[in-house]
Amino acid sequence: MIRTLDKGAIAAAAVAGLGLDEESSGIDSPEALAAAIRRAASFSCPTTQRELSKLVIESLEWLVSDPHALAGEVTSSLEAVINYGDLLDLSSIGGRPSKSSDLYLAPPSFVARQSGAVLLIGIATEGQPIVGEDLSQRIVYERHVRSIPGPTGPGLLENLADDGLREVSIEQWLVCPRPVSATELVTQYDTRLSASIEPGPIDGLTLLDPSRPVTYYRGRWRPPTSKDEGRFVARRPREYGADLWCYLELRGGIPTRLVDLPVASGIVRGCDEAWRLQGAIDAVRGHPQTARHSPSGANGRIVQLTIPTPSWLQRRWDAVGTPVVVPGALVSYKFDAKDLQEELDFAESMLWTRAVA
């Protein structure tokens, strides 16, 4: 049977089809975008970030209120979904070196928090729900985060396991790099860079200019010039897929040494290492990143960062706080006031941020 609908009704049907409540989430809400990304990935992985974004944009551009803003929103949402752990950004699967990194579905899993709440992670193939019908109704969606709020009744963890979800310990999910000083971290990368060989000219190189203000991340990116001397976090294009992150040395704007990121083994994203390294470089230069915090409601505090969050920090804050939208801010989370100081301290120890009230 054919039903003719208006744009609003078809958008509401799509939201419901994504498993969300059409009364509380619009088609361009962060929750719907994250769900649309998960659904598209369930049919198209392994795929590149670019292809996945395109698929989602094409499905939504005729329904959202601001089609021009959609691409940026999908890109940010996709980053959040990857960092959260729903998608794995990998290359060299099966022992064959790859010219690009591809996204793969992370297996359906759950993380039990001390509060009793459970975070749901991963994507089932072909748009299938990752939990059974009774549990699906209990899922709370907040931006890219799916959780079943606590306190949980007896049997919840067993039911999740019975649905085929694997339990991931909170420690394992929140595993993060070893804390070091900013100077120590920069020295580690400098040592690697000094041991590297000359890469030759690289077309399409862009770098993060440490001399530009730390408060405007996007404005710090620029192509190299002949005046550039020193070491920079940068990105270089590759044949397929997203640009590669790297740390390089320039002489007269020409790369003389280069290390591709990540340097750590295991499942680590290049951007995670790059953002942390940039935080360290900024701190060593005396212009650390800022963690601006402000009150929100009676017991809430919102923290805004001026640099994208590495996945290990996003996961921690997904577990402790709630992602929120603050216009103009790159990353914003809302915390209970009692948690604020601990999280500011953590950000300072790992990214050398300076707290600003």
Contact by Cβ (8 Å): 303, 293: yes
257 forms bridges with which residues in the sheet? 249
| Residue 204 engages other proteins in binding (rule: CB under 8 A) | no
d(CA 204, CA 304): 31
Nearer to other proteins, 51 or 348 (CB): 51
For the four alpha carbons of 22, 75, 342 and 292, in that order, the dihedral sign comes to: negative
Residues that contact other proteins, how many (by CB under 8 A): 71
Which part of the chain contacts other proteins (CB under 8 A), choosing from 121-129, 285-293, 301-309, 318-326?
Answer: 121-129
Identity of the amino acid at 2: I
In residues, how long is the chain?
357
Place of tokens 């640009």: 243
Interface residue with other proteins, options 24, 115, 166, 229 (CB under 8 A): 166
Q: How far is the CB of 69 from other proteins (least distance, A)?
A: 15
| Token output for 293 | 């915090």
| Residue 125 engages other proteins in binding (rule: CB under 8 A) | yes
Interface residue with other proteins, options 24, 69, 92, 285 (CB under 8 A): 92
Q: How far is the CB of 72 from other proteins (least distance, A)?
A: 19
| Residue 56 engages other proteins in binding (rule: CB under 8 A) | yes
Interface residue with other proteins, options 26, 107, 210, 300 (CB under 8 A): 107
Calculate the alpha carbon distances from 90 to 40, 46, 95, 162, 266 in Å: 18, 9, 12, 28, 10
Question: What are the start-end ranges of the H helices in 22-66?
Answer: 30-44, 49-60
| Residue 23 engages other proteins in binding (rule: CB under 8 A) | no
194 forms bridges with which residues in the sheet? none
Nearer to other proteins, 128 or 294 (CB): 128
| Residue 18 engages other proteins in binding (rule: CB under 8 A) | yes
Nearer to other proteins, 88 or 193 (CB): 88
Longest dimension (CA), the chain: 68
| Residue 216 engages other proteins in binding (rule: CB under 8 A) | no
Chain-centre distance for alpha carbon 323 = 12
d(CA 141, CA 66): 22
d(CA 122, CA 166): 10
| Residue 111 engages other proteins in binding (rule: CB under 8 A) | no
| Residue 264 engages other proteins in binding (rule: CB under 8 A) | no
Residues 70-89 that bind other proteins (CB under 8 A): 85, 88
| Residue 159 engages other proteins in binding (rule: CB under 8 A) | yes
Q: How far is the CB of 266 from other proteins (least distance, A)?
A: 6
Residues 218-257 that bind other proteins (CB under 8 A): 239-240
Nearer to other proteins, 139 or 329 (CB): 139
| Residue 144 engages other proteins in binding (rule: CB under 8 A) | no
d(CA 172, CA 126): 27
| Residue 137 engages other proteins in binding (rule: CB under 8 A) | no
Report the DSSP pairing between strands 102-105 and 221-222. unpaired
| Residue 42 engages other proteins in binding (rule: CB under 8 A) | yes
Nearer to other proteins, 104 or 117 (CB): 104
| Token output for 16 | 């419901």
| Residue 176 engages other proteins in binding (rule: CB under 8 A) | no
Interface residue with other proteins, options 9, 69, 140, 264 (CB under 8 A): 9
Interface residue with other proteins, options 60, 156, 248, 302 (CB under 8 A): 60
| Token output for 178 | 């070893």
Show Cβ contacts of residue 195 under 8 Å, excluding neighbours closer than 6 positions.
none
